[in-house]
Amino acid sequence: MVNHKVYKEFKHEGYDCMIREITMVDVVNFDKHLDDVVKNKSWLCGYVKVPKWHRLSDYKNYDEANGLEVHGGVTFVGDFDEDFNLGSDFWIGFDCNHAFDKREVCDDKYVVNEIKNLVRQIKERITEKKGTK
């Protein structure tokens, strides 16, 4: 079972930003030797809400959004609401649940910095002409 909750919400340069905490419940690790590479039982994910008028707020531009540089790469592009159900807001996000990621390294300060980096890149795409990078 997976639980998720809003860990932190903030604005950065006018963009809505969010950190969600994902927790695996009732997970059984059958191989204790893989503890260092098995995915965390709890991790943080960072998201930036993309305005409807922005060209990245469309699934047609998924490849371009995927090219944004952030921890582990973009792992989420889509709509969800505050309960993580399908919603009307378009978000781009990343997770800190890759092999060798540690919660104490990928903490909220680290994720906030990655979100700020993501906002900077999203803003850079505003002034570019469609189809160029």
Q: 67 CB contacts (<8 Å, ≥6 apart)? A: 74, 133
Cα Rg, the chain, nearest whole Å: 16
Tell me: the pLDDT tens digits for 21-75?
988 776 555 555 545 444 558 899 999 999 888 888 876 666 778 789 999 999 8
Stated pTM of the model? 0.81
Q: 119 CB contacts (<8 Å, ≥6 apart)? A: 12, 13, 15, 17, 48
Strand order in the sheet with 42-50: 2-12, 15-24, 42-50, 90-95, 76-79
Q: Does the pLDDT at position 129 exceed 70?
A: no
Tell me: the pLDDT tens digits for 75-123?
888 887 666 665 677 899 999 988 888 888 999 999 999 999 999 999 9
